[in-house]
A and B are shown apart, each in its own frame.
Chain A
Amino acid sequence: MLEEIKKTLNEFNAEIKKVNSSAELENVRIKYLGRRGVLSQLFDDFKKITSNDKPIIGKTLNQAKIEITGKFNQLQEMILSNSNSTDSYIDLSLPGRKSFVGSKHIITQTLDEVRAIFKGLGFSIYEGPELESDYNNFGALNFPDDHPARDMQDTFFVSEKFLLRTHTSPVQIRVMQEKKPPLRAIMPGKVYRNESLSAKSYCLFHQVEGLLVDTDVTFAELKGTLVSFAQQLYGKDVKYRFRASFFPFTEPSAEVDIWWQQQGKEGRWLEILGCGMVDPNVLMNVGIDPEKYVGYAFGMGVERMALLKYGIDDIRLLFDNDLRFLKQFISV
């Protein structure tokens, strides 16, 4: 009987190779799988067997049935799908099948642009915690206690000693405490200001700060670096100005404005970043000799740049995460 089963399988395999139409396939079905088909016949025969090899024969027969059924089903599917495509009308104007597309938030996209520029200038990227000590956020950065300079940044305090960082400058302190100069780093991250929510201000925003400490750094080099940055971001003809300002952690300090002109509107100076030479007190606070090393630092707000770039007039839109808004900024 084993011989017979093998023969049946061989015949089946040979026959299905020739099948081309569903009519031919139906014939094969009737012949092998029909109620009076070959397989059914074999099972009938099997029942009559009484010899010792009945289990082996049974197992072989089962395998044969599975194989024949499987191959038959496969072939049937193929023939069905073929006939579909040849018989039906192809409408090439149908929309294509959709795939999912996501996007990075425009804050991230803007941040990426800024980072790409500084990557090109050899800056490393460092990050630090958002819940910071008062010392790292203010003290180490040369903000005296009880000084009005602290009012420049409305602060969320969570205790006398801890606060939500108001700038990413504490990361400068952390980097300088960990590493010896030369240092060349940018520090992106979330920062907090205790302000009421409005179209113009939000209680948090993202900042990128930069720090460079080396033996031969100058204000002219700071200017050169930032001018290059502004040109890469706003075009090579960008009109800019450096004006004196005050930050406790830099001296001399400056703010950089660019001339912003929109079509049909009056041009105006727009502040894009603050910068300066690292104050010697800050260097001394982290154990760097200010006679030997000089540093510069700069910082800018990412949201402001994004609002400017995309012509968004309400900062809260950035934090509403309305899908209709997010979908406008799908990009790679």
Chain B
Amino acid sequence: MKISLNWLNDYIDLSGTTIAEISDKLTSAGLEIEEIIDQRKIFNNIVVGYVKEKQMHPNADKLTLCKVSDGQNVFNVICGAPNVDTGQKIPFAKIGATIPENNFKIAKVKIRGEVSEGMICSERELGISDNHDGIMVLSERAEVGKNLSDELGLNDVILDINVTPNRSDALSHIGVARDLSAIFNKQLKIPEIKFTESDNNINKLASVEILNYIDCPRYFAKVVTDVRINESPEWLKKKLLNVGLRPINNIVDITNFVLYETGQPLHAFDLDLLANKKIIVRNEKEKVKFTTLDDKEREITSTDLMICDGKCSVAVAGVMGGKNSEVTINTKNILIESAYFNPSAIRKTSKRLGLSTDASYRFERGVDPSIAPYAANRAAQLMRELTGGTIAKDSIDIYPKKIIPRKVSLRFNRITRILGFEIPKESIQQILKNLQFNIFKNVNSQIEVEVPTFRPDIEREIDLIEEVARIYGYDKIPPVNKISITLEERVYQNTFDDKLRDIMVSLGFFEIVSNSLQKEETANKFGTAINVLNPKSYEMASVRTSLIPGMLITIKKNLNVQEKNLRFFEIGQIFNRIKDGKLIDFSDFIEESKLLIGITGKAVESEWYEKDRQFDFYDLKESVEQTLEFFFTNIKCIEKFYKDGNDLFEYYFEKEFNGKKIGIGGKIKKEILDYFDITQDVYVFDFNLDILKQIELPIKKYQELLKYPKVIRDFAIIIDKKTDNSDVMKFILKNSLNVLKNIKLFDIFESESLGKDVKSLAFQLEFWNSEKTLTEEEVDKYFWDMIEKTKNKFNAKLRGE
């Protein structure tokens, strides 16, 4: 919200304080200044110039060559505007100036062979209005050479304040001035209202009826007759322009002025357009079409509170007026509406219509129900002064259930307990008084406070403590340099995911973090998608059902930039729907923790000592094996192999522990790769972390180191090509005595010389006995016996036999 410093000065004397001080203190007290716009600085080096001569540019049809004086020197300036002419006084941006519209810096340039030493500006280029039809022509009385900000009276400082949703009271100049008065302990000046009323009583001119008291607790109205619609005076237009409002006519401008002064939204109806001169606050019985002031036809439902006349709706209450009762150039008599609407009702309508206005913004945050008369009277007073209108006698005030100020007590020692710092009692009371809280009872240890109705956010003691602390200044509360810690039985620090990350990094993988939102189609390809009700784009319409799409998208992006050899991992959550329909319970969907590893491209690149090699299934398997090994030394998982694949994998394998699936992975199918436009093989493995986390890790125990020598035997068999290695190994282990401790496949060899459809598998066996030395003879006995059995079982030959 934009606040003008000049305007603020109407309510508080800020002389003696710098802009920086005001800005810092307001920010510190919770009214964060996001931007300070100093108009004098904006127009640096932009002055009133005088066009002495104008010629056509010799090399361009649409450009003119002007000689512009700044009162001291004459400059060559090239101008493209059609309306520039000799004798005009114009805004002249000299070399060194910055054009407010686009931050363009003016320098000496050559345009089509001619030198230009500055620029003549349009209103839009100066940031004054949207007008860009031609250059801005200044008054003939303007003083050549004078700084433009002084000439236009744009010498204000505008504070752009980020007002948090709890501070509806600060959405006006008086509101901000009130905080400043507490911060600087200065007097707040509220303009006094004095006017004379005609003998014509308002009750003869208009009537008001509320049918929905819940959504409209108060409706205050004032009537001004015989107004003359016109442009507003300069001072009023400038005030509105400075806070970013467009002047419309004197009546509308006055309502906007009062809104920005007091925070109370007003609406001015053309009284003569109201059927039966009557206002009824009610809901429509059924859906109706209604055209708002912005010329848009909107659908109104029975939940929207409407302002109606004797016949139909004339305004969407608290949001926007209707076209049918708009103040026009012909308007004579005005009904000023100054109401208090239920915040949540206004919010619902504003949200539903997608229409947020200055009025709805304030009503949904809660305006002051007590200020309605003041605001209406203030507007009436200004209408009388500026439009020549006559104020009808009395006012209409329908307010059956008065909202009374809350009473809250505040214990001094509670402030100290919460803050850890003692604020003097006098300061506490002064702050609350300056914020217009009424301290009506004061005993030694606590005070009783009446909360003004403009502070709907203050309900409890803690709210008062915050008020005191923020005005006193958080920076005055010293940070402690010693904290006490309650000792706990256990501090949970390293998470499972942390350990996993360390493992993956040690295996040479790069961690990725991909978007959890994706296309609905993609999400449904990998699971049962949960859709976002309000997505920003169709690319992010669903929550991910698997980490695989994110991995493949990441791989594709890298392939696009010639990064082709990739080993990635991601740890994250995936989400799948369990039940159709609306999610109403945690059991309707499942959120799971996953670790996905993905490899593609070359496992090894060509080096002087080594040939390059592509990643394959066995690289994937080893990474999976190693990952599990780090965690579960000595825990054996069951492996299941699926050569024929499934929808996702060309072939894959699963790891199981105690009947629970730990993970699944393999070579991604070509159809899937095509979907992601990937043209090289990709292998992934998907770990189910929720299952892994449940496995109770055995406590690692030291194992005595072997004291006796191992006996090592190698052998190779020639066997049918289609025999699985694991079957041979399993058989060997099963048919050996317990001194065979280790078996390793160390070579696979196929060749014509071995025969057709056969292969050679070479194994190394390790034998030892932890109790005594094993002799070669003992081993040989087992060894040859086992070889014979193996040969028979698999119909194999011993190689070299």
Q: Is A121 an interface residue (CB 8 A)?
A: yes
Pick from B29, B484, B543, B609: contact of A216, CB under 8 Å: B484
The stretch from B152-160, B320-328, B380-388, B513-521 touching chain A is B513-521
Q: Give the complex CA separation of A221 and B481 in angstroms.
A: 8
Q: Are B483 and A121 in contact (CB under 8 A)?
A: yes
Q: Are A104 and B480 in contact (CB under 8 A)?
A: no
Q: Which residues of A contact B297 (CB under 8 A)?
A: none
Q: Give the complex CA separation of A152 and B505 in angstroms.
A: 38
Q: Is A12 an interface residue (CB 8 A)?
A: no
Q: Is B583 an interface residue (CB 8 A)?
A: yes
Q: Give the complex CA separation of A141 and B584 in angstroms.
A: 20
Given the contacts A62-B801, A182-B488, A246-B164, A196 and B536 also touching, CB distance less than 8 Å: yes
Q: Is A36 an interface residue (CB 8 A)?
A: no
Q: Are B165 and A158 in contact (CB under 8 A)?
A: no
The stretch from B96-104, B231-239, B561-569 touching chain A is B561-569
Pick from B463, B586, B715: contact of A133, CB under 8 Å: B586
User: Which residues from 22 to 67 on chain B have a C-beta closer than 8 Å to any C-beta of chain A?
Assistant: 27-30, 32
Q: Which residues of A contact B573 (CB under 8 A)?
A: 129-131, 190
Chain B, interface size: which category?
35 or more
Chain A min CB distance to B425 (Å): 18
Q: Is B531 an interface residue (CB 8 A)?
A: yes
Q: Are B514 and A126 in contact (CB under 8 A)?
A: no
Q: Is A107 an interface residue (CB 8 A)?
A: yes
0/1 interface trace, chain B 484-508, chain A, CB 8 Å (1 if under): 1110101111110010010011111
Q: Which residues of A contact B532 (CB under 8 A)?
A: 156-158, 164, 194
Q: Are A319 and B347 in contact (CB under 8 A)?
A: no
Pick from B348, B466, B563: contact of A253, CB under 8 Å: B466
Considering only CB atoms, which chain A residue lies closest to B457 in the complex? Answer: A246
Considering only CB atoms, which chain A residue lies closest to B609 in the complex? Answer: A97
Q: Are B32 and A243 in contact (CB under 8 A)?
A: yes
Q: Is B533 an interface residue (CB 8 A)?
A: yes
Q: Give the complex CA separation of A136 and B462 in angstroms.
A: 22
Q: Which residues of B contact A63 (CB under 8 A)?
A: 780, 784
Q: Is A23 an interface residue (CB 8 A)?
A: no
Given the contacts A242-B474, A244-B474, A321 and B568 also touching, CB distance less than 8 Å: yes
Q: Are B419 and A158 in contact (CB under 8 A)?
A: no
Q: Give the complex CA separation of A152 and B166 in angstroms.
A: 11
Q: Are B348 and A148 in contact (CB under 8 A)?
A: no
Q: Which residues of B contact A204 (CB under 8 A)?
A: 515-517
The stretch from A24-32, A44-52, A76-84, A222-230 touching chain B is A222-230
Considering only CB atoms, which chain A residue lies closest to B575 in the complex? Answer: A131
Q: Are B474 and A195 in contact (CB under 8 A)?
A: no
Q: Are B557 and A103 in contact (CB under 8 A)?
A: no
Given the contacts A66-B800, A103-B510, A124 and B557 also touching, CB distance less than 8 Å: no
Given the contacts A159-B583, A244-B470, A97 and B607 also touching, CB distance less than 8 Å: yes
Q: Give the complex CA separation of A108 and B492 in angstroms.
A: 18
Q: Give the complex CA separation of A241 and B25 in angstroms.
A: 12
Chain A min CB distance to B377 (Å): 28
Q: Are A221 and B483 in contact (CB under 8 A)?
A: yes
Q: Is A17 an interface residue (CB 8 A)?
A: no
0/1 interface trace, chain B 341-378, chain A, CB 8 Å (1 if under): 00110011000000000000000110000000000000
Given the contacts A157-B533, A218-B419, A122 and B491 also touching, CB distance less than 8 Å: yes
Q: Are A220 and B466 in contact (CB under 8 A)?
A: no
Chain B min CB distance to A85 (Å): 14
Q: Are A224 and B165 in contact (CB under 8 A)?
A: no
Chain B min CB distance to A47 (Å): 15
0/1 interface trace, chain B 220-253, chain A, CB 8 Å (1 if under): 0000000000000000000000000000000000
Q: Is B420 an interface residue (CB 8 A)?
A: yes
User: Which residues from 305 to 352 on chain B have a C-beta closer than 8 Å to any C-beta of chain A?
Assistant: 343-344, 347-348
Considering only CB atoms, which chain A residue lies closest to B607 in the complex? Answer: A98
User: Which residues from 150 to 182 on chain A have a C-beta closer than 8 Å to any C-beta of chain B?
Assistant: 151-152, 155-162, 164, 182
Considering only CB atoms, which chain A residue lies closest to B346 in the complex? Answer: A146
Pick from B475, B567, B583: contact of A161, CB under 8 Å: B583
Interface centre among A101, A321, A327 (most CB of B within 10 A): A321
Q: Which residues of A contact B540 (CB under 8 A)?
A: 203
Q: Give the complex CA separation of A156 and B542 in angstroms.
A: 10
Q: Are A246 and B591 in contact (CB under 8 A)?
A: no
Interface centre among B344, B510, B531 (most CB of A within 10 A): B510
Q: Is B646 an interface residue (CB 8 A)?
A: no
Q: Give the complex CA separation of A288 and B39 in angstroms.
A: 52
Q: Is B554 an interface residue (CB 8 A)?
A: yes
Q: Give the complex CA separation of A94 and B780 in angstroms.
A: 46
Interface centre among A98, A164, A323 (most CB of B within 10 A): A323
Q: Are B28 and A105 in contact (CB under 8 A)?
A: no
Q: Are A221 and B480 in contact (CB under 8 A)?
A: yes
Pick from A59, A147, A224: contact of B479, CB under 8 Å: A224
Q: Are B514 and A319 in contact (CB under 8 A)?
A: yes
Q: Is A294 an interface residue (CB 8 A)?
A: yes
Q: Give the complex CA separation of A212 and B479 in angstroms.
A: 16
Q: Are B566 and A323 in contact (CB under 8 A)?
A: yes
User: Which residues from 184 to 222 on chain A have a C-beta closer than 8 Å to any C-beta of chain B?
Assistant: 184, 190, 192, 194-196, 203-204, 214, 216, 218-221
Q: Are A105 and B485 in contact (CB under 8 A)?
A: no
Q: Give the complex CA separation of A95 and B481 in angstroms.
A: 52
Q: Give the complex CA separation of A145 and B506 in angstroms.
A: 48
Given the contacts A122-B485, A159-B584, A219-B419, A108 and B515 also touching, CB distance less than 8 Å: no
Q: Which residues of A contact B511 (CB under 8 A)?
A: 102-105, 108, 326
Q: Are A156 and B534 in contact (CB under 8 A)?
A: yes
Q: Are B365 and A148 in contact (CB under 8 A)?
A: yes
Q: Are A321 and B557 in contact (CB under 8 A)?
A: yes
Q: Are B591 and A184 in contact (CB under 8 A)?
A: no
Given the contacts A224-B483, A319-B515, A149 and B493 also touching, CB distance less than 8 Å: no
Q: Is B572 an interface residue (CB 8 A)?
A: yes
Q: Are B491 and A102 in contact (CB under 8 A)?
A: no
Chain A min CB distance to B219 (Å): 22
Pick from B417, B469, B479, B495: contact of A227, CB under 8 Å: B479
Q: Give the complex CA separation of A59 and B780 in angstroms.
A: 11
Given the contacts A102-B505, A242-B474, A160 and B582 also touching, CB distance less than 8 Å: yes
Chain B min CB distance to A13 (Å): 12
Q: Are A124 and B165 in contact (CB under 8 A)?
A: no
Considering only CB atoms, which chain A residue lies closest to B165 in the complex? Answer: A148
Q: Is A139 an interface residue (CB 8 A)?
A: no
Given the contacts A148-B365, A245-B30, A218 and B512 also touching, CB distance less than 8 Å: no
Q: Which residues of B contact A236 (CB under 8 A)?
A: none
Pick from B421, B477, B508, B589: contact of A131, CB under 8 Å: B589
Q: Are B530 and A146 in contact (CB under 8 A)?
A: no
Q: Is B558 an interface residue (CB 8 A)?
A: yes
Q: Are A146 and B348 in contact (CB under 8 A)?
A: yes
Q: Are A324 and B561 in contact (CB under 8 A)?
A: yes
* Chain A residues packing against B (C-beta within 8 Å): 59, 62-63, 65-66, 69-70, 94-95, 97-105, 107-108, 112, 115, 119, 121-127, 129-131, 133, 145-149, 151-152, 155-162, 164, 182, 184, 190, 192, 194-196, 203-204, 214, 216, 218-221, 223-227, 241-246, 251-255, 277, 279-280, 294, 318-324, 326-327
Could you write out 21 A-B pairs with CB less than 8 Å apart?
A69-B800, A97-B609, A99-B508, A115-B493, A130-B591, A131-B573, A156-B535, A162-B584, A182-B486, A190-B516, A190-B573, A203-B515, A204-B515, A220-B480, A242-B475, A243-B29, A244-B30, A245-B164, A252-B465, A280-B460, A320-B554
Q: 9 more A-B contacts (CB under 8 A) besides A182-B486, A220-B479, A326-B510?
A: A104-B505, A104-B511, A218-B419, A225-B483, A246-B30, A252-B470, A320-B557, A321-B514, A321-B557
* Chain B residues packing against A (C-beta within 8 Å): 27-30, 32, 164-167, 343-344, 347-348, 364-365, 417-421, 460, 462-463, 465-466, 469-470, 474-475, 477-486, 488, 490-495, 498, 501, 504-517, 530-537, 540, 543, 554, 557-558, 561, 563, 566-569, 572-573, 575, 582-586, 589, 591, 607-610, 714-715, 780, 784, 798, 800-801
- For the complex of A and B, list the 5 residue pairs with the smallest distance between their C-beta atoms, beginning with the closest: A100-B508, A218-B420, A220-B420, A244-B30, A244-B470
